[in-house]
Amino acid sequence: MSDGVGSASLIDVAAVRADTRGIPGVIHFNNAGCALPPRIVTDVQKEYLDQEERLGGYETREAFSDRIDAVYASLATLVGASPDEIALADSATRAWDMVFYGLELAAGDRILTCRSEYGGNAIAYLHRARMSGVEIVVIDDDATGQIDLDRLQKELEVPRTRLVAMNHIPTQGGLINPAERVGGLCREAGVPFLLDACQSVGQLDLSVDLLQCDVLTGTGRKFLRGPRGTGFAYVRAESMELFAPAFLDGRSAVWLGADEYELAPTAIRYETWEKNYANLLGLGAAVDYALSLGMSGIESRVLALGSRLRDSLAEVPRVRLADQGERQCGIVSFTVDGVAPDDVMTTLRRMRLNVSVSRARSSRWDLPRRGLASVVRASAHYYNSSEDIEALVSALSDIQG
């Protein structure tokens, strides 16, 4: 059963809402922050923790070893990779850091990125610039607000360009950057491509081969509907020699002798020994749940919901949409004339309508240039309904400045 939004997706909206314990108590449009998990995710976490309490930590890890190993295969299926190209982490940031900081760079080397880049990633670029003298080049937007591909192509031709690193979907709006075309340009130029997909994993149907990226990182807590404290990296097998792990321990390498070690042959070289295995099983359950629904169907519905929400908000007096890009996703950003975004968020939360706020401190290359200090962010997911959208629009119509 569908409610008519993205009906071609064939997602049974009533069933997925019934699978989501949080839905009766809240209308959740903060999926770009943390989505509501399906019950199977929290159930498997509880199952693991209950057994760990009774049996012991190491012993429980051994008892669940097959199910833990299966998480690699599930993530590989999700992005079209091999399990040997998947590394698990406690966040998308840590997965990204382990690869990014492993790339050897010297003074004068160039990193290309986009104007909509995440604050956390931008800080990492600036840190490497301060520590080793690399040059950070921010590619301007084109007329639609996405990365300017013509400008990118020209910058890729400049000597000592060593990396293109950027987001697929930014945190502050509904833009979908043309990552496939970026990947193609990088491949032609022989420059590695690191794609932060933390907002697109679980929302879009992704293929690392189509994206032509060397590295893709993602999180569990957002559109995958997994637990907080989970993330992963895909690293293309032939690119692993380019990206040495940022640091090593007994998981990422084997101590062969008194003065000799060897890197793990697979992407687990980017992992560390200690893990929250209950969370990792929850991540695996979330991925399997998404795969059971079908990522093409999820993408169809989420983008349709985002479009309907955007169209509905455009009809509300004093609401100003802030999304950019040729393609747009389920994240919808806007402001309300005369009302600070934080006040909008607080007022809506009192009505059990969850949204969030994106601020300039997380997007200093983007929002300030557009004259925005912050925006309200409403992010739809496939379990949201037409009635949810109507409730949000009605509440915004009633907010007074």
Report which DSSP code applies to 32: T
Q: In the Cβ-directed half-sphere of 377, how many Cα atoms lie within 13 Å? A: 22
188 Cβ contact partners less than 8 Å away, ≥ 6 residues apart:
156
Report pLDDT digits (tens) over 26-59.
Answer: 999 999 999 999 999 999 999 999 999 999 999 9
DSSP H or E stretch at residue 357: strand 356-359
- Residue 3: pLDDT band by 50, 70, 90 thresholds? confident
Report pLDDT digits (tens) over 120-129.
Answer: 999 999 999 9
Across the chain, mean pLDDT equals 96
Check pLDDT > 70 for residue 360: yes
Check pLDDT > 90 for residue 162: yes
The rounded distance, in Å, linking the Cα atoms of 115 and 3 is 37
Task: Return the closest-CA partner of residue 29 out of 297, 328, 385.
Answer: 385
Check pLDDT > 80 for residue 145: yes
CATH 3.40.640.10: does it fit domain 43-292? yes
**Percent over 90 (pLDDT), the chain:** 97
The rounded distance, in Å, linking the Cα atoms of 82 and 80 is 7
Report pLDDT digits (tens) over 289-335.
Answer: 999 999 999 999 999 999 999 999 999 999 999 999 999 999 999 99
Residues 79 and 208 sit within 8 Å (Cβ to Cβ): yes
pTM of the model: 0.96
Domain definitions of the chain by residue range: 7-30+294-398, 43-292
**Percent over 70 (pLDDT), the chain:** 98
The amino acid present at 263, given as its one-letter code, is L
Report which DSSP code applies to 341: H
Check pLDDT > 70 for residue 1: no
Calculate mean pLDDT across residues 379-384: 98
pLDDT of residue 6: 62
pLDDT of residue 343: 98
Question: 374-379 and 356-359: which strand pairing?
Answer: antiparallel
Report pLDDT digits (tens) over 173-184.
Answer: 999 999 999 999
CATH 3.90.320.10: does it fit domain 7-30+294-398? no
CB burial of 216-231 (b: ≥16 within 10 Å; e: otherwise) equals: bbbbbbbbbbbbbbbb
The rounded distance, in Å, linking the Cα atoms of 74 and 86 is 10
The rounded distance, in Å, linking the Cα atoms of 254 and 248 is 10
Other beta carbons within 10 angstroms of residue 124's beta carbon come to 18
pLDDT of residue 280: 98
The rounded distance, in Å, linking the Cα atoms of 384 and 6 is 12
Calculate mean pLDDT across residues 82-92: 97
Calculate mean pLDDT across residues 274-299: 98
